[in-house]
Structure 1
């Protein structure tokens, strides 16, 4: 029997947010581990054709994850994540920026892992930007589609 998995994105016009949801055929702990293990992140994090080089990783509240994302055209994108909340198997929250202090384009991210039975999870990722205009700017370059590609790569990682 084929199971249909929920895949959905929403971008309310009056809110500075993007929410992506995807169901996975894996328990929350497996998905959470994919976010916590540096070697795992190297295999799935980023849209199709992108890779990452990890510069530093300190996975704890107050810790940082610094990495460079490499685009398929050779462009490098510096990134930094500052962990704000870590609830194993349930929730991650962090500030994501361009690896510069006081980055005006920084945005908050919350990732939740909701168990749907023994071996299924609904992952919800909500990004909140400084303004609707800032959210719209990232949508212009395809942030929703690129985010969905990243979640699809995560699905392939946990399946493999």
Structure 2
């Protein structure tokens, strides 16, 4: 699995190749039962009962991330701008002011090229510690979709 990160004034971009088809990756990004498995950095969790998602333009996307050690919580509140199953999701984060665009492209052998681009990125999100944490979320997603695509069940 390859990964790359670009940091520029235009925003931040992340790319990964996931060992699962776009339809499965898209489902994992839009269903609470799937999101709860990876939607938090290592050392934190996203309780399924605190994930509210309505994947349509104008629909809400709200989560609560809980620090597994301290119990501290971080709420996210977003609104979908675009939803094109199974190829793209765009949302605006009200809590950070950031806009997130995810595109999923089918690759041979049932794999997916995942591209995420963030614009209007706050300085705190650009900090190395937060970037490292976000990458662990992508690692968790990669492991989860691989598990599902190769015989695992939720």
TM-score by length of 1: 0.83
Structure 1 vs Structure 2 CA RMSD:
1.6
| Uncovered stretches (5+) of structure 1, i.e. residues with no partner | 99-104
Written as runs of structure 1 = structure 2, the 5 A alignment for 1:25-104 is 25-53=19-47, 54=50, 56-72=52-68, 73-98=70-95
2: distance between equivalents of 1:90 and 1:29?
8
Paired residue total: 144
Give per-residue Cα distances to partners, 1:44-86, cap 9 Å, x unaligned.
1111111113253322211102221112332110111211101
Which position in structure 2 is the counterpart of 1:106? 97
| Uncovered stretches (5+) of structure 2, i.e. residues with no partner | 148-154
- 2:21 counterpart of 1:24: no
* Deviation, structure 1 residue 141: 5.7
Runs of 4 or more, structure 1, over 6 Å off, are none
Which position in structure 1 is the counterpart of 2:135? 148
